[in-house]
Amino acid sequence: MSDATDATNAAWQGRYEGALMNTFGPPKATLVRGSGAHVWDEDGTEYVDLLGGIAVNALGHAHPALVEAVTAQLGTLGHISNFFASEPQVRLAEKLLELVSAAGGPVATGRVFFTNSGAEANEAAFKLTRRTGRTHVVAAEGGFHGRTMGALALTSKEAYRTPFEPLPGDVTFVPYGDVEALAAAVTDETAAVLLEPIQGEAGVVLPPDGYLRAAREITTRHGALLWLDEVQTGIGRTGRWFAHHSPVEEVAQQPLVPEEGALRPSRRARNQVTPDIVTVAKGLAGGFPIGACLGLGDAATLFDPGNHGTTFGGNPVACAAALAVIGTIESEDLLEHVTVLGQKLRDGLAADPRVTEVRGEGLLIGLDLATDASAEVFAAAMRHGFIVNNPTPGRIRLAPPLVLTDDDASAFLAAWPAILDEALGPVPGEQP
Protein backbone atom coordinates (compact mmCIF):
# COMPACT_ATOMS: atom_id res chain seq x y z
CA MET A 1 0.00 0.00 0.00
CA SER A 2 1.47 3.37 -0.99
CA ASP A 3 2.16 6.33 1.28
CA ALA A 4 -0.50 8.24 -0.62
CA THR A 5 -3.04 5.55 0.25
CA ASP A 6 -1.97 5.57 3.88
CA ALA A 7 -2.38 9.32 4.02
CA THR A 8 -5.76 9.24 2.33
CA ASN A 9 -7.12 6.42 4.41
CA ALA A 10 -5.64 7.91 7.58
CA ALA A 11 -7.31 11.23 6.84
CA TRP A 12 -10.71 9.61 6.32
CA GLN A 13 -10.23 7.40 9.37
CA GLY A 14 -9.50 10.45 11.49
CA ARG A 15 -12.65 12.16 10.30
CA TYR A 16 -14.63 8.92 10.82
CA GLU A 17 -13.43 8.62 14.41
CA GLY A 18 -14.30 12.26 15.06
CA ALA A 19 -17.80 12.04 13.64
CA LEU A 20 -19.17 8.52 14.22
CA MET A 21 -19.86 6.65 17.47
CA ASN A 22 -17.23 4.05 18.23
CA THR A 23 -19.37 0.93 17.99
CA PHE A 24 -17.44 -0.91 15.29
CA GLY A 25 -13.82 0.01 16.00
CA PRO A 26 -11.59 1.63 13.37
CA PRO A 27 -12.64 0.95 9.76
CA LYS A 28 -10.30 -1.28 7.77
CA ALA A 29 -10.28 1.03 4.73
CA THR A 30 -12.37 3.67 3.03
CA LEU A 31 -14.07 2.11 0.03
CA VAL A 32 -15.28 4.32 -2.79
CA ARG A 33 -16.75 2.06 -5.49
CA GLY A 34 -17.52 -1.52 -6.43
CA SER A 35 -18.32 -3.68 -9.42
CA GLY A 36 -19.39 -7.30 -9.19
CA ALA A 37 -17.34 -8.95 -6.45
CA HIS A 38 -14.63 -6.26 -6.57
CA VAL A 39 -14.26 -3.04 -4.56
CA TRP A 40 -11.73 -0.19 -4.65
CA ASP A 41 -10.43 2.07 -1.90
CA GLU A 42 -9.58 5.77 -1.98
CA ASP A 43 -6.22 5.20 -3.68
CA GLY A 44 -7.54 2.81 -6.28
CA THR A 45 -6.37 -0.36 -4.55
CA GLU A 46 -8.58 -3.24 -5.72
CA TYR A 47 -9.92 -6.04 -3.51
CA VAL A 48 -11.96 -9.16 -4.20
CA ASP A 49 -14.85 -8.90 -1.76
CA LEU A 50 -15.24 -12.31 -0.11
CA LEU A 51 -17.36 -10.88 2.71
CA GLY A 52 -20.14 -9.31 0.63
CA GLY A 53 -21.12 -6.79 3.30
CA ILE A 54 -21.55 -9.78 5.66
CA ALA A 55 -23.63 -11.90 3.27
CA VAL A 56 -25.65 -8.91 2.06
CA ASN A 57 -24.41 -8.07 -1.45
CA ALA A 58 -26.03 -11.04 -3.16
CA LEU A 59 -25.55 -9.56 -6.63
CA GLY A 60 -22.25 -7.91 -5.80
CA HIS A 61 -21.77 -4.22 -6.36
CA ALA A 62 -23.61 -2.07 -8.91
CA HIS A 63 -25.44 -4.96 -10.57
CA PRO A 64 -27.42 -3.51 -13.49
CA ALA A 65 -30.66 -5.30 -12.56
CA LEU A 66 -30.57 -3.91 -9.03
CA VAL A 67 -29.62 -0.40 -10.15
CA GLU A 68 -32.39 -0.39 -12.74
CA ALA A 69 -35.05 -1.66 -10.33
CA VAL A 70 -34.21 0.86 -7.62
CA THR A 71 -33.92 3.74 -10.08
CA ALA A 72 -37.19 2.93 -11.82
CA GLN A 73 -39.13 2.45 -8.59
CA LEU A 74 -37.75 5.58 -6.95
CA GLY A 75 -38.66 7.51 -10.08
CA THR A 76 -42.21 6.18 -9.90
CA LEU A 77 -43.26 5.78 -6.26
CA GLY A 78 -40.71 6.07 -3.46
CA HIS A 79 -42.42 5.88 -0.07
CA ILE A 80 -46.08 5.71 0.88
CA SER A 81 -46.25 4.52 4.56
CA ASN A 82 -48.17 1.42 5.57
CA PHE A 83 -51.49 3.25 5.41
CA PHE A 84 -51.34 2.27 1.74
CA ALA A 85 -50.32 -0.78 -0.30
CA SER A 86 -47.97 -0.96 -3.29
CA GLU A 87 -47.51 -3.50 -6.05
CA PRO A 88 -43.87 -4.39 -5.18
CA GLN A 89 -44.83 -5.00 -1.55
CA VAL A 90 -47.62 -7.45 -2.43
CA ARG A 91 -45.62 -9.19 -5.17
CA LEU A 92 -42.61 -9.67 -2.87
CA ALA A 93 -44.72 -11.10 -0.05
CA GLU A 94 -46.33 -13.58 -2.45
CA LYS A 95 -42.92 -14.50 -3.89
CA LEU A 96 -41.37 -15.13 -0.47
CA LEU A 97 -44.23 -17.42 0.48
CA GLU A 98 -43.70 -19.30 -2.79
CA LEU A 99 -39.96 -19.63 -2.16
CA VAL A 100 -40.24 -20.72 1.47
CA SER A 101 -42.41 -23.65 0.44
CA ALA A 102 -40.51 -26.92 0.22
CA ALA A 103 -39.27 -27.73 -3.26
CA GLY A 104 -42.06 -29.38 -5.21
CA GLY A 105 -44.58 -28.85 -2.43
CA PRO A 106 -47.62 -26.58 -2.26
CA VAL A 107 -47.16 -22.86 -1.74
CA ALA A 108 -47.06 -22.14 1.97
CA THR A 109 -50.07 -20.58 3.60
CA GLY A 110 -48.75 -17.56 5.42
CA ARG A 111 -48.32 -13.85 5.69
CA VAL A 112 -45.32 -11.52 5.72
CA PHE A 113 -44.35 -8.55 7.89
CA PHE A 114 -41.66 -6.38 6.28
CA THR A 115 -38.96 -4.62 8.31
CA ASN A 116 -35.72 -2.73 7.63
CA SER A 117 -33.21 -5.30 8.94
CA GLY A 118 -32.71 -8.78 10.29
CA ALA A 119 -32.73 -7.61 13.90
CA GLU A 120 -36.09 -5.93 13.35
CA ALA A 121 -37.43 -9.06 11.66
CA ASN A 122 -36.41 -11.06 14.73
CA GLU A 123 -37.88 -8.37 16.98
CA ALA A 124 -41.20 -8.76 15.15
CA ALA A 125 -41.01 -12.54 15.44
CA PHE A 126 -40.23 -12.27 19.16
CA LYS A 127 -43.39 -10.23 19.67
CA LEU A 128 -45.32 -12.67 17.48
CA THR A 129 -44.41 -15.52 19.83
CA ARG A 130 -45.95 -13.58 22.75
CA ARG A 131 -49.29 -13.75 20.97
CA THR A 132 -49.38 -17.47 21.78
CA GLY A 133 -50.04 -16.48 25.39
CA ARG A 134 -46.68 -17.95 26.43
CA THR A 135 -43.41 -16.13 27.15
CA HIS A 136 -40.71 -18.82 27.32
CA VAL A 137 -38.32 -19.10 24.35
CA VAL A 138 -35.56 -21.66 23.84
CA ALA A 139 -32.57 -20.53 21.76
CA ALA A 140 -29.16 -21.99 21.00
CA GLU A 141 -25.74 -21.20 22.40
CA GLY A 142 -23.63 -19.57 19.72
CA GLY A 143 -26.66 -18.14 17.95
CA PHE A 144 -26.77 -14.53 16.82
CA HIS A 145 -30.06 -12.78 16.17
CA GLY A 146 -29.27 -9.05 16.29
CA ARG A 147 -28.49 -6.25 18.71
CA THR A 148 -31.82 -4.61 19.49
CA MET A 149 -32.83 -5.31 23.09
CA GLY A 150 -35.26 -8.05 22.13
CA ALA A 151 -32.99 -9.70 19.56
CA LEU A 152 -30.07 -9.42 21.98
CA ALA A 153 -32.09 -11.25 24.62
CA LEU A 154 -32.12 -14.22 22.22
CA THR A 155 -28.38 -14.01 21.49
CA SER A 156 -26.21 -16.03 23.85
CA LYS A 157 -22.82 -14.31 23.60
CA GLU A 158 -21.99 -12.86 27.00
CA ALA A 159 -19.81 -10.06 25.61
CA TYR A 160 -22.81 -8.70 23.72
CA ARG A 161 -25.35 -9.27 26.50
CA THR A 162 -23.65 -8.28 29.75
CA PRO A 163 -23.38 -4.48 29.23
CA PHE A 164 -27.13 -4.25 28.64
CA GLU A 165 -28.64 -6.63 31.17
CA PRO A 166 -31.28 -7.10 32.36
CA LEU A 167 -32.65 -8.05 28.96
CA PRO A 168 -36.32 -8.74 28.18
CA GLY A 169 -37.75 -12.18 27.92
CA ASP A 170 -37.72 -15.60 29.52
CA VAL A 171 -35.04 -17.31 27.45
CA THR A 172 -33.28 -20.65 27.94
CA PHE A 173 -30.09 -21.37 25.99
CA VAL A 174 -29.17 -24.93 25.01
CA PRO A 175 -26.10 -26.35 23.22
CA TYR A 176 -26.56 -26.09 19.44
CA GLY A 177 -27.15 -29.45 17.80
CA ASP A 178 -27.91 -31.31 21.07
CA VAL A 179 -31.33 -32.94 20.61
CA GLU A 180 -31.57 -34.24 24.16
CA ALA A 181 -30.81 -30.83 25.65
CA LEU A 182 -33.43 -29.25 23.42
CA ALA A 183 -36.01 -31.86 24.36
CA ALA A 184 -35.30 -31.28 28.04
CA ALA A 185 -35.63 -27.48 27.77
CA VAL A 186 -38.94 -27.30 25.88
CA THR A 187 -42.12 -27.59 27.94
CA ASP A 188 -45.83 -26.99 27.49
CA GLU A 189 -45.11 -23.40 28.59
CA THR A 190 -42.64 -22.75 25.76
CA ALA A 191 -43.79 -20.25 23.16
CA ALA A 192 -41.09 -20.97 20.57
CA VAL A 193 -37.77 -22.57 19.76
CA LEU A 194 -35.42 -20.26 17.82
CA LEU A 195 -32.63 -21.76 15.73
CA GLU A 196 -30.37 -20.85 12.82
CA PRO A 197 -30.18 -23.70 10.27
CA ILE A 198 -26.47 -22.82 10.09
CA GLN A 199 -24.90 -20.55 12.70
CA GLY A 200 -23.13 -17.81 10.75
CA GLU A 201 -21.65 -15.41 13.28
CA ALA A 202 -20.27 -18.30 15.30
CA GLY A 203 -18.03 -19.17 12.34
CA VAL A 204 -20.40 -21.15 10.09
CA VAL A 205 -21.42 -24.02 12.36
CA LEU A 206 -23.69 -26.76 10.98
CA PRO A 207 -25.93 -28.88 13.21
CA PRO A 208 -25.95 -32.67 12.93
CA ASP A 209 -28.25 -34.18 10.32
CA GLY A 210 -31.82 -34.42 11.53
CA TYR A 211 -31.50 -31.67 14.16
CA LEU A 212 -34.10 -29.40 12.63
CA ARG A 213 -36.45 -32.32 12.14
CA ALA A 214 -36.03 -33.20 15.81
CA ALA A 215 -36.73 -29.58 16.75
CA ARG A 216 -39.91 -29.74 14.67
CA GLU A 217 -41.02 -32.89 16.47
CA ILE A 218 -40.27 -31.44 19.91
CA THR A 219 -42.06 -28.15 19.28
CA THR A 220 -45.09 -29.87 17.77
CA ARG A 221 -45.35 -32.18 20.77
CA HIS A 222 -45.45 -29.20 23.15
CA GLY A 223 -47.53 -26.85 21.03
CA ALA A 224 -44.62 -24.46 20.62
CA LEU A 225 -43.63 -22.56 17.49
CA LEU A 226 -40.53 -23.45 15.48
CA TRP A 227 -38.82 -20.22 14.47
CA LEU A 228 -35.90 -20.38 12.03
CA ASP A 229 -33.58 -17.40 11.69
CA GLU A 230 -32.51 -17.40 8.03
CA VAL A 231 -31.29 -13.81 8.10
CA GLN A 232 -27.83 -14.89 6.95
CA THR A 233 -28.58 -18.24 5.30
CA GLY A 234 -31.67 -17.29 3.29
CA ILE A 235 -32.23 -16.18 -0.31
CA GLY A 236 -29.76 -18.46 -2.05
CA ARG A 237 -26.72 -18.12 0.21
CA THR A 238 -26.39 -21.88 0.72
CA GLY A 239 -27.29 -22.87 -2.84
CA ARG A 240 -30.95 -23.23 -1.86
CA TRP A 241 -33.50 -20.50 -1.32
CA PHE A 242 -33.53 -21.38 2.39
CA ALA A 243 -31.04 -23.45 4.34
CA HIS A 244 -33.80 -25.55 5.88
CA HIS A 245 -34.60 -26.89 2.40
CA SER A 246 -32.09 -29.71 2.69
CA PRO A 247 -32.23 -32.54 0.20
CA VAL A 248 -34.31 -35.55 1.04
CA GLU A 249 -32.41 -38.70 1.93
CA GLU A 250 -33.14 -42.15 3.28
CA VAL A 251 -32.74 -42.51 7.04
CA ALA A 252 -33.23 -45.29 9.55
CA GLN A 253 -36.71 -46.00 10.83
CA GLN A 254 -36.21 -44.65 14.29
CA PRO A 255 -37.50 -41.56 16.01
CA LEU A 256 -35.22 -38.57 16.18
CA VAL A 257 -36.49 -37.88 19.68
CA PRO A 258 -36.59 -40.92 21.98
CA GLU A 259 -40.11 -40.51 23.30
CA GLU A 260 -43.31 -42.41 22.83
CA GLY A 261 -45.42 -41.06 20.01
CA ALA A 262 -42.52 -39.62 18.03
CA LEU A 263 -42.78 -39.79 14.27
CA ARG A 264 -41.40 -42.90 12.59
CA PRO A 265 -41.29 -42.18 8.87
CA SER A 266 -39.36 -44.50 6.59
CA ARG A 267 -38.08 -41.60 4.56
CA ARG A 268 -37.58 -38.04 5.71
CA ALA A 269 -35.56 -35.03 4.86
CA ARG A 270 -32.18 -34.49 6.45
CA ASN A 271 -33.13 -31.06 7.73
CA GLN A 272 -36.16 -30.21 5.60
CA VAL A 273 -38.90 -28.98 7.88
CA THR A 274 -41.95 -26.76 7.79
CA PRO A 275 -41.35 -24.04 10.39
CA ASP A 276 -43.93 -21.67 11.87
CA ILE A 277 -41.80 -18.53 11.56
CA VAL A 278 -38.91 -17.68 9.23
CA THR A 279 -36.95 -14.44 9.40
CA VAL A 280 -34.85 -13.17 6.48
CA ALA A 281 -32.86 -10.03 5.62
CA LYS A 282 -29.20 -9.52 4.55
CA GLY A 283 -29.11 -10.74 0.93
CA LEU A 284 -32.82 -10.21 0.32
CA ALA A 285 -32.45 -6.85 -1.45
CA GLY A 286 -28.75 -7.08 -2.26
CA GLY A 287 -27.72 -4.13 -0.08
CA PHE A 288 -30.93 -2.13 0.05
CA PRO A 289 -32.18 -2.26 3.68
CA ILE A 290 -35.02 -4.74 4.15
CA GLY A 291 -36.01 -7.62 6.39
CA ALA A 292 -39.03 -9.87 6.64
CA CYS A 293 -40.82 -11.99 9.22
CA LEU A 294 -42.75 -14.82 7.58
CA GLY A 295 -45.54 -16.37 9.63
CA LEU A 296 -46.63 -19.74 8.26
CA GLY A 297 -49.83 -21.66 8.98
CA ASP A 298 -51.59 -20.53 12.16
CA ALA A 299 -48.65 -18.26 13.05
CA ALA A 300 -49.58 -16.06 10.11
CA THR A 301 -52.61 -14.65 11.91
CA LEU A 302 -51.24 -14.12 15.43
CA PHE A 303 -50.81 -10.37 14.92
CA ASP A 304 -53.89 -8.17 15.00
CA PRO A 305 -54.03 -4.56 13.76
CA GLY A 306 -52.05 -2.35 16.13
CA ASN A 307 -49.91 -5.16 17.56
CA HIS A 308 -46.82 -4.10 15.61
CA GLY A 309 -45.72 -1.52 13.06
CA THR A 310 -42.90 0.09 11.10
CA THR A 311 -42.40 3.31 9.17
CA PHE A 312 -40.10 2.08 6.41
CA GLY A 313 -40.85 -1.66 6.30
CA GLY A 314 -42.40 -2.66 2.98
CA ASN A 315 -41.06 0.46 1.28
CA PRO A 316 -41.75 0.09 -2.49
CA VAL A 317 -38.11 0.75 -3.42
CA ALA A 318 -36.77 -1.87 -1.03
CA CYS A 319 -39.35 -4.39 -2.24
CA ALA A 320 -38.53 -3.65 -5.89
CA ALA A 321 -34.85 -4.21 -5.08
CA ALA A 322 -35.65 -7.56 -3.47
CA LEU A 323 -37.73 -8.64 -6.47
CA ALA A 324 -34.77 -7.76 -8.72
CA VAL A 325 -32.41 -9.87 -6.59
CA ILE A 326 -34.73 -12.87 -6.59
CA GLY A 327 -35.40 -12.51 -10.32
CA THR A 328 -31.68 -12.36 -11.10
CA ILE A 329 -30.91 -15.41 -8.97
CA GLU A 330 -33.57 -17.28 -10.95
CA SER A 331 -32.65 -15.99 -14.42
CA GLU A 332 -28.89 -16.49 -13.99
CA ASP A 333 -29.24 -19.90 -12.28
CA LEU A 334 -27.18 -18.64 -9.36
CA LEU A 335 -28.29 -21.39 -6.96
CA GLU A 336 -26.41 -23.98 -9.02
CA HIS A 337 -23.47 -21.60 -9.44
CA VAL A 338 -23.30 -21.05 -5.68
CA THR A 339 -23.35 -24.79 -5.02
CA VAL A 340 -20.55 -25.58 -7.48
CA LEU A 341 -18.31 -22.64 -6.59
CA GLY A 342 -18.78 -23.18 -2.86
CA GLN A 343 -17.58 -26.76 -3.15
CA LYS A 344 -14.54 -25.64 -5.14
CA LEU A 345 -13.63 -23.10 -2.46
CA ARG A 346 -14.11 -25.52 0.41
CA ASP A 347 -11.98 -28.19 -1.27
CA GLY A 348 -9.22 -25.73 -2.08
CA LEU A 349 -9.10 -24.15 1.35
CA ALA A 350 -9.05 -27.52 3.10
CA ALA A 351 -6.02 -28.66 1.09
CA ASP A 352 -3.63 -26.63 3.26
CA PRO A 353 -2.56 -28.44 6.46
CA ARG A 354 -2.70 -25.17 8.43
CA VAL A 355 -6.50 -25.38 8.04
CA THR A 356 -7.93 -27.95 10.44
CA GLU A 357 -11.58 -27.91 9.33
CA VAL A 358 -13.72 -26.36 6.59
CA ARG A 359 -17.51 -26.17 6.93
CA GLY A 360 -20.45 -24.62 5.15
CA GLU A 361 -22.90 -24.88 2.32
CA GLY A 362 -22.87 -22.90 -0.90
CA LEU A 363 -21.08 -19.59 -0.46
CA LEU A 364 -21.32 -19.50 3.33
CA ILE A 365 -18.00 -20.99 4.37
CA GLY A 366 -16.21 -21.21 7.71
CA LEU A 367 -12.80 -22.66 8.44
CA ASP A 368 -10.74 -23.33 11.52
CA LEU A 369 -7.07 -22.40 11.63
CA ALA A 370 -4.37 -24.43 13.36
CA THR A 371 -3.70 -21.43 15.63
CA ASP A 372 -5.70 -18.45 16.86
CA ALA A 373 -4.40 -16.12 14.19
CA SER A 374 -7.52 -15.12 12.27
CA ALA A 375 -6.72 -11.40 12.69
CA GLU A 376 -3.31 -11.98 11.06
CA VAL A 377 -4.96 -13.93 8.22
CA PHE A 378 -7.43 -11.11 7.68
CA ALA A 379 -4.59 -8.56 7.47
CA ALA A 380 -2.50 -10.73 5.14
CA ALA A 381 -5.51 -11.34 2.89
CA MET A 382 -6.03 -7.57 2.61
CA ARG A 383 -2.42 -7.12 1.57
CA HIS A 384 -2.98 -9.71 -1.15
CA GLY A 385 -6.16 -7.95 -2.33
CA PHE A 386 -8.87 -10.10 -0.69
CA ILE A 387 -11.44 -9.16 1.96
CA VAL A 388 -12.30 -12.00 4.36
CA ASN A 389 -13.88 -12.03 7.82
CA ASN A 390 -12.45 -13.23 11.16
CA PRO A 391 -15.48 -13.75 13.46
CA THR A 392 -13.49 -15.56 16.18
CA PRO A 393 -9.74 -15.75 17.00
CA GLY A 394 -9.35 -19.10 15.23
CA ARG A 395 -11.96 -18.95 12.49
CA ILE A 396 -12.34 -17.33 9.07
CA ARG A 397 -15.74 -16.77 7.44
CA LEU A 398 -16.42 -16.23 3.73
CA ALA A 399 -19.77 -14.94 2.44
CA PRO A 400 -18.97 -13.47 -0.98
CA PRO A 401 -21.50 -12.18 -3.51
CA LEU A 402 -23.42 -14.98 -5.22
CA VAL A 403 -22.04 -13.63 -8.51
CA LEU A 404 -18.43 -14.32 -7.50
CA THR A 405 -16.72 -15.66 -10.62
CA ASP A 406 -14.76 -18.85 -11.01
CA ASP A 407 -11.69 -16.75 -11.86
CA ASP A 408 -12.02 -14.81 -8.58
CA ALA A 409 -12.30 -18.05 -6.62
CA SER A 410 -9.26 -19.48 -8.40
CA ALA A 411 -7.24 -16.32 -7.71
CA PHE A 412 -8.04 -16.53 -4.00
CA LEU A 413 -7.12 -20.21 -3.79
CA ALA A 414 -3.85 -19.48 -5.61
CA ALA A 415 -3.01 -16.75 -3.08
CA TRP A 416 -4.18 -18.74 -0.04
CA PRO A 417 -0.85 -20.51 0.76
CA ALA A 418 1.04 -17.21 0.64
CA ILE A 419 -1.56 -15.56 2.87
CA LEU A 420 -1.13 -18.33 5.43
CA ASP A 421 2.66 -18.11 5.11
CA GLU A 422 2.52 -14.46 6.15
CA ALA A 423 -0.02 -15.00 8.91
CA LEU A 424 0.97 -18.36 10.36
CA GLY A 425 4.44 -19.09 9.03
CA PRO A 426 5.39 -21.99 6.75
CA VAL A 427 3.76 -25.40 6.83
CA PRO A 428 5.39 -27.42 9.65
CA GLY A 429 8.25 -29.48 8.26
CA GLU A 430 8.70 -27.29 5.19
CA GLN A 431 11.58 -24.88 4.61
CA PRO A 432 10.60 -21.19 5.06
Annotated binding residue at 119? Answer: yes
Residue 91 marked in a binding site: no
Is 232 annotated in a binding site? The answer is yes
DSSP letter, residue 301: G
Is 58 annotated as ligand-binding?
no
The response to whether 229 counts as a known ligand-binding position is: yes
Task: Tell whether residue 118 is among the known ligand binding residues.
Answer: yes
Query: SS3 for 311?
Result: coil
Give the Cα separation of 190 and 219 in Å (integer): 8
What are the E-state strand segments in 10-157? 31-35, 38-41, 46-49, 110-115, 136-140
- 214-301-139 Cα angle (round to 5): 35
Bridge-based pairing of strands 267-269 and 190-195 is unpaired
Contact between 320 and 69 (Cβ < 8 Å): yes
Q: How far apart are the first and last CA of the chain?
A: 24
Identity at 141, one-letter amino acid code: E
253 in a known ligand binding site: no
User: Annotated binding residue at 45?
Assistant: no
d(CA 101, CA 296) in angstroms, rounded, equals: 10
Strand 248-250 relative to strand 267-269: parallel, antiparallel, unpaired? Answer: antiparallel
The residues, ordered by sequence, that sit 6+ positions from 243 with a Cβ below 8 Å of its Cβ are: 197, 198, 230, 233, 234, 237, 271, 361
Q: Which residues are catalytic?
A: 144, 229, 282
Residues placed in the known binding site for N(2)-acetyl-L-ornithine: 147, 310
Binding residues for pyridoxal 5'-phosphate: 118-119, 144, 229-232, 311
Residues annotated in a binding site: 118-119, 144, 147, 229-232, 310-311
